Structures are given as C-alpha cells and as structure tokens.
C-alpha cells in the first residue's frame, strides 16, 4: 500500500484539507499555545514526510 505514489498523494491531500478545515472551524476553540506548539508542527511534519516519501518513490521508479 505504501509503495504507490498515489497513496502519498492522497495522504498529502488529506493532511492539507484537514488543516484548512481545522483553521476555519476549530482554531477558535483551541488555545494559541496548543495551536502553535502541537497542531501546526505536526501538520507540517506530516506534509513534509509524505512529500519526501513521494519524491523518494518517484526517483525510485525512474
């Protein structure tokens, strides 16, 4: 499952869309500290990790 590029495209899209939904709906009910030190870094880390794995698979298939 995790050896297909399509999987990482879907995971990147899920993380991105969920972060946008969070910003427009739940951000007002979460403390600023939690947002700055937990949610934002986790979402950025997931996006970078999935992008890295996607690029790694892309180079491997060439």
Amino acid 3: pLDDT:
83
CB count within 10 Å of CB 16 equals 14
pTM of the model: 0.87
In three-state secondary structure terms, 7 is helix
8 closest CA partner among 61, 41, 26, 39 = 61
Which tens digit of pLDDT belongs to each residue from 13-27?
999 999 999 999 999
Opening angle at CA 37, ends 27 and 28, nearest 5: 10
Confidence band for 9, pLDDT divided at 50, 70 and 90: very high
């Amino acid at each position: 499952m995790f050896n297909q590029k399509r999987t990482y495209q879907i995971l990147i899209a899920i993380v991105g869309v969920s972060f946008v939904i969070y910003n427009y709906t739940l951000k007002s009910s979460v403390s600023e500290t939690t947002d700055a030190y937990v949610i934002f870094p986790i979402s950025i880390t997931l996006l970078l990790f999935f992008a890295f794995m996607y690029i790694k698979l892309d180079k491997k298939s060439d």
